[in-house]
């Protein structure tokens, strides 16, 4: 793991190179390997300096998540993080300069090692990312990085940086003072590091000065106390106490700022241990690391086909969806031909991409030259014949069967035999659309979500005649866009729309039953959903929801059961309440601040019995999880990891629960089934657990 080399000038290079691995990570065994190295360095009287570098393409990717995720004894976690803190501290307190020569990503524990060095030089390359992403996994940094950043940036700025889990590039890190120098070529890392070491720099850290408490960040200081109170208030309002890691981070800072550095790092280690052992951390790590990596590694991708990489794609329809697809493709270096019925409309679509790039320019995230290069990848046309050299064509026009089938017939005449055609659809059956195709095996659905540049999910919809190779190529293309593909079968509403609809329909049904609208909305938010179910319905629009239900009724051919919630939507339409787009649904959008419509209680009188918040929350969450299980049983979706990420990315299902299926694991199969049976008895058979759930509960097994 650690290769030691000392040159004629007395400078030691420590090269990190974890055997048999693509990246360097730290686990307890590797951490212990640092100890004899440090003993030797501390005893070396001729030592002039130390350079820490990496033999991998990245510097140090962080901690060993397998070790952390599987740990069952808090004492072992605390021992490990305390050891890391000791190692970083010993590097920091060497009598000679220590330089981090950062050739690639330094994240998590790797970034904490960088912060403990006296000088930090980074290679200015797109892959050189710096940051502490632990909060995105429900944990906090444990090796003292919180305390060091608090000293370097101040409490509030450090809190914002760490809590965002941002991974920043070299120029931004240099601007913030997180690194000291940026270089253009790899060979400059060592050369400049040696030059700095030989310049006899002052290496005392501010926290090791005589007065070793951070005065400006001390919570006893009136201004700091106000900042902490403000951050705490904002945190509770935003997270509703569903994300304890954020509160632990703030507590760690507040407590650590009032003691000396070594005491602060012990506090840091204790908070880190508590978060690693928490359910939230296990849930988020499973979803955003293990489940996500299963998808990225192609666990659900059809096997036996070479990797597909699009060189050029065609996009038909330059509206919001089509222009969004063109934009994200161009951002990943793909040439795009954007087509609409006229050149003028196609250019309007390109202007949408231009506006997005302009915002990136103004924020400093992109240069004018980079923006122009991306924009030039998008060419516009009104002529379908120009699609002939595209590897893939995506049709993104209105949800109209006749229109989409006409386009299939027209564009297939121009496409090369090896290319394939995809439809962006949220509700139409891909198999029905494919009846117009002369090559249905090369036809597939791709359900993108708006806003495309922000939502990382794409549903890949497999028609009855879609070939496995087409599925594999579509899967590869979505990964090429840096999005998360989930594969779903061609059933009514697919997966995301089908399960998400149960959330807002249950909320509307609660309103019909006489539950208070504010209580319903608060229950959804307290449960961890991004918005209340009534606000969710407003966003979609009532006519759209009713239309989708009517379409499902046609597709299910007599097996459809209308929800009583539809009557509520029809009543709202009768009173000219249409949803957010028309400024009035369950909420009034013309008012500031936006409030629930004042006449809701008149139209849907309150029942004498108002449910407890737990009952409201359980109804809103359980109905989603039970529907997701039905999708698994019916083969709509193939596995739990697609379901988990699909629910989090697709409609914002409580991320701290790890997704719809992990929610059941977290609750406990037996406990979940028992609670579902109680809900079924009280509120209706839609909550009745399926036979497979009952069997799993009896066998005391979990979803994988």
pLDDT for 385 beyond 80:
yes
Last residue of a domain, one of 489, 504, 527: 489
Q: Looking at residues 260-277, what average pLDDT do you find?
A: 94
pLDDT for 95 beyond 60:
yes
Q: How far apart are CA 655 and CA 530, in angstroms?
A: 10
Residues 6+ apart with CB under 8 A from 172: none
Q: What digits encode the pLDDT tens for the residues 33-53?
A: 999 999 999 999 999 999 999
pTM value? 0.91
Q: How far apart are CA 365 and CA 359, in angstroms?
A: 9
113 to each of 42, 49, 132, how far by Cα in Å?
18, 16, 11
Gyration radius of the chain's alpha carbons: 28
Q: How confident is the model at residue 488, as a pLDDT?
A: 97
Residue 305 falls within a domain, yes or no? no
Residue 303 falls within a domain, yes or no? no
Residues 6+ apart with CB under 8 A from 365: none
Residue 545 falls within a domain, yes or no? yes
Last residue of a domain, one of 460, 489, 518: 489
Q: What digits encode the pLDDT tens for the residues 438-469?
A: 999 999 999 999 899 899 999 999 999 999 99
Residue 292 falls within a domain, yes or no? no
The CATH number of the domain where 511 resides is what?
1.10.1040.50
Angle, to 10 degrees, between the axis of helix 145-153 and the axis of helix 244-256? Answer: 60
Q: How confident is the model at residue 208, as a pLDDT?
A: 84
Q: Looking at residues 675-689, what average pLDDT do you find?
A: 96
**171 and 228 belong to one structural domain:** yes
Q: How confident is the model at residue 558, as a pLDDT?
A: 58
Contact at 8 Å (CB) between 403 and 423? no
Q: Is the dihedral of CA 186, 187, 188, 189 positive or negative?
A: positive
The CATH number of the domain where 399 resides is what?
3.40.50.720
Last residue of a domain, one of 437, 465, 489: 489
**484 and 511 belong to one structural domain:** no
Name the pLDDT band for 217 (thresholds 50, 70, 90).
low
Q: What percent of the chain has pLDDT over 90?
A: 80
Name the pLDDT band for 209 (thresholds 50, 70, 90).
confident
DSSP secondary structure of 1-19: -EEEEE-TTSEEEEEE--T
pLDDT for 605 beyond 60:
yes
**340 and 370 belong to one structural domain:** yes
pLDDT for 557 beyond 70:
no
157 closest CA partner among 235, 241, 61, 231: 231
**261 and 409 belong to one structural domain:** no
Q: How confident is the model at residue 211, as a pLDDT?
A: 57
Query: Alpha carbon 355 to chain centroid distance?
Result: 24
Name the pLDDT band for 591 (thresholds 50, 70, 90).
confident
Contact at 8 Å (CB) between 643 and 637? yes
**124 and 206 belong to one structural domain:** yes
Buried b (16+ CB within 10 A) or exposed e, 151-188: bbbbbbebbebbbeebbbbbeebbeeebbbbbbeeeeb
**565 and 606 belong to one structural domain:** yes
Q: How far apart are CA 26 and CA 35, in angstroms?
A: 13
338 to each of 152, 289, 381, 653, how far by Cα in Å?
47, 35, 6, 33
**578 and 462 belong to one structural domain:** no
Q: What angle do CA 662, 679, 675 make, to 5 degrees?
A: 45
Q: What angle do CA 579, 584, 587 make, to 5 degrees?
A: 90
Residues 6+ apart with CB under 8 A from 489: 461, 462, 635, 636, 637
**485 and 504 belong to one structural domain:** no
Q: How confident is the model at residue 215, as a pLDDT?
A: 53
pLDDT for 188 beyond 90:
yes
Q: Looking at residues 641-670, what average pLDDT do you find?
A: 96
DSSP secondary structure of 593-656: S-EE-TTHHHHSPPPSSPPPHHHHHHHHHHHHHHHHHHHHHHTSB--HHHHHHHHHHHH---GG
Name the pLDDT band for 210 (thresholds 50, 70, 90).
low
Name the pLDDT band for 560 (thresholds 50, 70, 90).
low
Residue 32 falls within a domain, yes or no? yes
Q: Looking at residues 390-395, what average pLDDT do you find?
A: 96
Q: How confident is the model at residue 1, as a pLDDT?
A: 78
The owner of tokens 């019909």 is 512
Contact at 8 Å (CB) between 629 and 690? yes
For residues 492 and 651, the model is more confident at: 651
**537 and 614 belong to one structural domain:** yes
Residue 300 falls within a domain, yes or no? no
Domain count, the chain: 3
Buried b (16+ CB within 10 A) or exposed e, 191-209: ebbbebbeeeeebeeebee
Q: Looking at residues 129-149, what average pLDDT do you find?
A: 95
Q: How confident is the model at residue 30, as a pLDDT?
A: 85
**151 and 35 belong to one structural domain:** yes
Residues 6+ apart with CB under 8 A from 662: 283, 286, 287, 291, 640, 644, 703
Q: What is the mean pLDDT of the chain?
A: 92
Residue 452 falls within a domain, yes or no? yes
Q: What angle do CA 602, 608, 614 make, to 5 degrees?
A: 105
Q: How confident is the model at residue 704, as a pLDDT?
A: 83
pLDDT for 559 beyond 70:
no
Q: Looking at residues 355-373, what average pLDDT do you find?
A: 88
Q: What digits encode the pLDDT tens for the residues 468-494?
A: 999 999 999 999 999 999 999 999 889
For residues 423 and 208, the model is more confident at: 423
Please state whether beta strands 167-168 and 587-588 pair in parallel, antiparallel, or not at all (unpaired).
unpaired
Name the pLDDT band for 218 (thresholds 50, 70, 90).
low
Query: Alpha carbon 41 to chain centroid distance?
Result: 41
Q: Nearest 10 degrees: CA dihedral of 224, 226, 230, 231?
A: 10
**524 and 612 belong to one structural domain:** yes
Q: How confident is the model at residue 19, as a pLDDT?
A: 83
546 to each of 424, 534, 575, how far by Cα in Å?
21, 15, 16
pLDDT for 612 beyond 80:
yes
pLDDT for 172 beyond 80:
yes
Q: How far apart are CA 584 and CA 518, in angstroms?
A: 16
Residues 6+ apart with CB under 8 A from 314: 336, 337, 339, 386, 387, 390, 392, 393, 394, 411
DSSP secondary structure of 166-209: -EE-HHHHHHHTSSSEEESSTHHHHHHHHHHHTT------GGGS
388 closest CA partner among 413, 410, 415, 412: 415
Please state whether beta strands 2-6 and 11-16 pair in parallel, antiparallel, or not at all (unpaired).
antiparallel
Contact at 8 Å (CB) between 475 and 510? no
Name the pLDDT band for 223 (thresholds 50, 70, 90).
confident
Element (H, E) at 443: strand 443-448
Q: Is 144 left (phi over 0), alpha (psi -120 to 50) or beta?
A: left
Name the pLDDT band for 556 (thresholds 50, 70, 90).
low
The owner of tokens 């597909």 is 308
Domain that holds residue 122: 2-277
**424 and 556 belong to one structural domain:** no
pLDDT for 555 beyond 90:
no
Query: What residues are paired with 579 via a beta bridge?
Result: 584
Residue 323 falls within a domain, yes or no? yes
The owner of tokens 């297939």 is 412
């Amino acid at each position: 793991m650690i290769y030691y080399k000392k040159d004629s000038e007395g400078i030691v290079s420590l090269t990190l190179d974890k055997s048999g691995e693509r990246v360097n990570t730290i686990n307890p065994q590797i951490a212990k390997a640092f100890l004899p190295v440090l003993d030797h360095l501390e005893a070396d009287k001729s030592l002039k300096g130390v350079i820490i570098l990496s033999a991998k393409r990245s510097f140090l990717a962080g901690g060993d998540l397998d070790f952390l995720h599987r740990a069952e004894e808090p004492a072992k976690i605390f021992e490990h993080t305390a050891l890391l803190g000791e190692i970083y501290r010993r590097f920091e307190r060497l009598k000679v300069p220590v330089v981090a020569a950062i050739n690639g990503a330094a994240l998590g524990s790797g970034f904490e090692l960088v912060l403990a060095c006296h000088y930090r030089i980074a290679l200015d390359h797109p892959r050189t990312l710096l940051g502490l992403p632990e909060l995105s996994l429900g944990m906090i940094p444990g090796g003292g990085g919180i305390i060091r950043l608090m000293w370097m940036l101040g409490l509030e700025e450090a809190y914002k940086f760490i809590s965002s889990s941002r991974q920043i590039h070299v120029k931004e890190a240099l601007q913030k003072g997180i690194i000291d120098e940026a270089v253009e070529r790899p060979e400059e890392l060592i050369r400049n590091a040696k030059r700095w070491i030989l310049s006899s720099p002052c290496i005392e850290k501010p926290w090791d000065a005589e007065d070793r408490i951070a005065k400006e960040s001390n919570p006893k200081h009136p201004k700091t106390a106000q900042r902490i109170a403000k951050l705490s208030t904002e945190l509770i309002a935003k997270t509703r106490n569903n994300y304890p890691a954020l509160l632990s981070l703030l507590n760690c800072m507040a407590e650590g700022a009032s003691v000396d550095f070594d005491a602060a790092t012990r506090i840091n280690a204790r908070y880190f241990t508590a978060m690693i052992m928490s359910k939230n951390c296990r849930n988020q790590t499973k979803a955003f690391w293990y489940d996500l990596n299963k998808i990225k590694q192609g666990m659900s991708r059809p096997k036996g086909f070479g990797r597909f990489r699009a060189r050029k794609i065609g996009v038909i329809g330059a509206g919001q969806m089509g222009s969004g697809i063109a934009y994200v493709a161009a951002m990943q270096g793909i040439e795009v031909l954007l087509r609409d019925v006229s050149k003028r409309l196609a250019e309007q679509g390109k202007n949408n991409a231009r506006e997005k790039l302009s915002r990136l320019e103004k924020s400093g995230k992109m240069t004018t030259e980079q923006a122009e290069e991306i924009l030039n990848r998008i060419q516009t046309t009104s002529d379908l014949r120009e699609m002939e050299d595209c590897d893939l064509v995506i049709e993104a026009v209105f949800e109209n069967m006749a229109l989409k089938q006409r386009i299939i017939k027209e564009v297939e005449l121009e496409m090369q035999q090896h290319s394939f055609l995809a439809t962006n659809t949220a509700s139409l059956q891909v198999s029905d659309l494919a009846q117009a195709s002369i090559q249905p095996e090369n036809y597939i659905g791709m359900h993108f979500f708006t806003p495309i540049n922000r939502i990382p999910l794409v549903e890949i919809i497999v028609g009855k005649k879609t070939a496995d190779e087409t599925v594999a190529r579509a899967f590869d293309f979505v990964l090429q866009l840096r999005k998360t593909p989930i594969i779903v079968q061609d059933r009514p509403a697919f997966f995301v729309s089908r399960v998400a609809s149960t959330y807002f329909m249950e909320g509307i049904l609660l309103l019909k039953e006489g539950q208070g609208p504010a209580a319903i909305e608060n229950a959804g938010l307290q449960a961890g959903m991004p918005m209340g179910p009534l606000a969710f319905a407003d966003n979609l629009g009532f006519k759209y929801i009713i239309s989708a239900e009517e379409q499902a009724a046609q597709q299910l051919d007599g097996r459809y059961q209308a929800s009583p919630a539809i009557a509520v939507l029809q009543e709202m339409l009768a009173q000219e309440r249409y949803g957010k787009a028309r400024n009035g649904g369950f909420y009034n959008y013309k008012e500031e601040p936006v409030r629930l419509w004042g006449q809701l209680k008149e139209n849907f009188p309150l029942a004498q019995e108002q449910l407890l918040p737990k009952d409201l929350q359980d109804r809103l969450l359980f109905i989603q999880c039970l529907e997701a299980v039905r999708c698994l049983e019916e083969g709509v979706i193939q596995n739990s990891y697609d379901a988990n990420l699909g629910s989090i990315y697709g409609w914002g299902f409580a991320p701290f629960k790890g997704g719809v299926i992990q929610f059941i694991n977290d609750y406990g199969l037996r406990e979940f089934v028992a609670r579902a049976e109680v809900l079924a008895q009280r509120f209706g058979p839609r909550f009745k657990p399926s036979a497979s759930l009952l069997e799993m509960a009896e066998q005391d097994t979990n979803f994988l």
